[in-house]
Amino acid sequence: MAADPFTDAVDYRRYVREVAQYPDRQDYAVIDRDADKAVGTLSLMRQDPNNGVIEVGNVMFSPLLKRTPISTEAQFRIMAYLFDDLGYRRYEWKCDSLNAPSRNAAQRLGFRFEGIFRQAMIYKGRSRGTAWYSIIDADWPTLRQAFQEWLAPDNFTIDGRQRRALSEIRAQVDRHRRASRTTGLAMPSCFRCSATLIRRT
């Protein structure tokens, strides 16, 4: 993230007031429904509705989300909103090429790596390359099915551990969807709903 770590709540509120002025950015709070508590934020930015392109960024999740499916569900719900409700064609994820956790997160969620823009910016006193990832509308049906299966209650043990990884499910769904093009069989599923996205104004 471009922002430095916040020193306290006052510092964070100052940041929120500042970014609220950006015309092409919308910030969302991630709410844990069970705890009725805000546990993270993410932003939609660089919006280009004429071409159907939008970027996700400024993802900040609380340590409270560790070992819960909420962070993944929040990403799924924002994707569903963009592709299913708003009809976007392309969803982008960009990060510092040296930010291994962010790059791993993008790939886990199903974003495809498109390359590195070398020396894209000066960032915190150094030359930064930017790694580009995307999901397009043609990818979405497979990803949506995989998210729904991963979020299904029977994919988790009683202590909240996943039984199958999202990447494993996605690969299986992709194989089944390819086969279903000739058989015409559908793949029913259901998923839990643990998170709410609330736009911050």
Q: pLDDT per residue over 47-87, tens digit each? A: 999 999 999 998 988 888 877 899 999 999 999 999 999 99
Question: What residue spans define the domains of the chain?
Answer: 23-148+194-200
CATH architecture type of domain 23-148+194-200: 3-Layer(aba) Sandwich (3.40)
Distance CA 56, CA 89 (A): 14
112: which strand partners? 134
Q: Kindly tell me the number of DSSP H helices and DSSP E strands found in the chain.
A: 5, 7
Using alpha carbons, select from 199, 79, 58 the residue that is nearest to residue 139.
79
- Give per-residue pLDDT as tens, 88-107: 999 999 999 999 999 999 99
Backbone CA torsion sign across 194, 82, 99, 10: negative
Interatomic CA distance for residues 120 and 101, integer angstroms: 20
Whether pTM exceeds 0.85? no
